[in-house]
Amino acid sequence: MSAIATHSLTRVFGPVTALSQLTVEMPTGVVGLVGANGAGKSTLIKILLGLLPPTSGSVTVLGLNSVTNGLEIREIVGYMPESECLPPDVSATEFLVHMARMSGLPTDVARERTADTLRHVGLYEERYRPIGGYSTGMRQRVKLAQSLVHDPQLVLLDEPTNGLDPAGRDEMLELIRRISTDFDISVLVTSHLLGELERIADHIVSIEGGVLQRSTSTAAATQFSGMVLVEVTDRGPDVAERLRAMRATVTTGAQSNSFAVTVDDERVLDDIRAVVVDLEVGLIRMQRGRHHLAEMFATQQEALHG
């Protein structure tokens, strides 16, 4: 079953069309939603939470109709807003217990799950101090924790890596990955950084101006490109020349000592090794080339504007 499915979803605000004829299925696992500001991501999230009725079209979240079953959806869905949303004068523990109760958990369960959830997002002793004194990274963890505390089946994370330093970004991405793999909770995560989503998402949906641009699984988009990247210590042009003589397709780039070889036959790999040994140069790397999502979007941009 897909976690989220929309059909001809349209939302109009006066003269502005925020979402236009959006038909997309998002599977369970981690789904990345890419789009610039104003692309319609927030509008989509509001509709998914059942807080905004669509102008036309239909949406189901975990099999529930978002127009008529908003309360049921919000019971089993968690939401982490992009904006600052934490009161500074309470501790993370108190705040989470309260938010868990606001999701309908009995008080004793709320306490238990609060301790668990804060441990899972990596907040320990500091959880008894007022949130006002937390770093940005810790705040993001609390925001994430409040979306998980009631054990949802799906979480909607709006720009969770915003404002984090590179190390914090990595930790947050790792955590999001774990929400799906270890906690078995589906994730819809928005970001404007494609590279981030490529690392953690199983599926990428991109929208632009409220229109669906692309919906694809990450595995399909980043599959083996059929090229092997080779880098040697010296005499790169000679190596390339010898390989061409052996009827291999070699693509050279700006750097003379590294080039790409098309692998139409596994024997090519043996040939490369043989040539390197023969010319007595050092082999620095031989790496299977993969497509990057950025290529997919680059070609798309060119197609759009060219």
DSSP-derived pairing of the beta strands 203-208 and 30-34: parallel
Contact 201, 222 (CB under 8 A): no
Span of 16-24, 143-151, 197-205, 283-291 interacting with other proteins by CB under 8 A: 143-151
Taking CA atoms, 33 is separated from 26, 47, 77, 204, in Å, by 10, 15, 17, 6
Phi first, then psi, for residue 152 (nearest 5°) are -75, 170
* Minimum distance from residue 68 beta carbon to other proteins (Å): 13
Residue 141 binding other proteins, by CB under 8 A: no
Span of 14-22, 31-39, 87-95, 231-239 interacting with other proteins by CB under 8 A: 87-95
Three-class secondary structure of residue 237 per DSSP? helix
Residue 133 binding other proteins, by CB under 8 A: no
Nearer to other proteins, 115 or 220 (CB): 115
Task: Return the closest-CA partner of residue 210 out of 54, 28, 26.
Answer: 54
* Minimum distance from residue 182 beta carbon to other proteins (Å): 6
Residue 266 binding other proteins, by CB under 8 A: no
CA distance 14 to 142: 36
Contact 252, 244 (CB under 8 A): no
Span of 56-64, 75-83, 229-237, 257-265 interacting with other proteins by CB under 8 A: 75-83
Q: Which of 41, 120, 139, 169 binds other proteins (CB under 8 A)?
A: 120
Task: Return the closest-CA partner of residue 200 out of 189, 213, 208.
Answer: 189
Task: Return the closest-CA partner of residue 64 out of 48, 44, 41.
Answer: 48
Residue 74 binding other proteins, by CB under 8 A: yes
* Minimum distance from residue 204 beta carbon to other proteins (Å): 23
Q: Which of 6, 146, 218, 257 binds other proteins (CB under 8 A)?
A: 146
Three-class secondary structure of residue 152 per DSSP? coil
Residue 142 binding other proteins, by CB under 8 A: no
Q: Which of residues 96-115 bind other proteins (CB under 8 A)?
A: 98-99, 101-107, 109, 111, 113, 115
CA distance 31 to 289: 24
For binding to other proteins (CB under 8 A), which residues are involved?
A: 42, 45-46, 49, 51, 71-72, 74-75, 77-79, 81-90, 93-94, 98-99, 101-107, 109, 111, 113, 115-116, 120, 125, 128, 130, 146-147, 150-151, 182-184
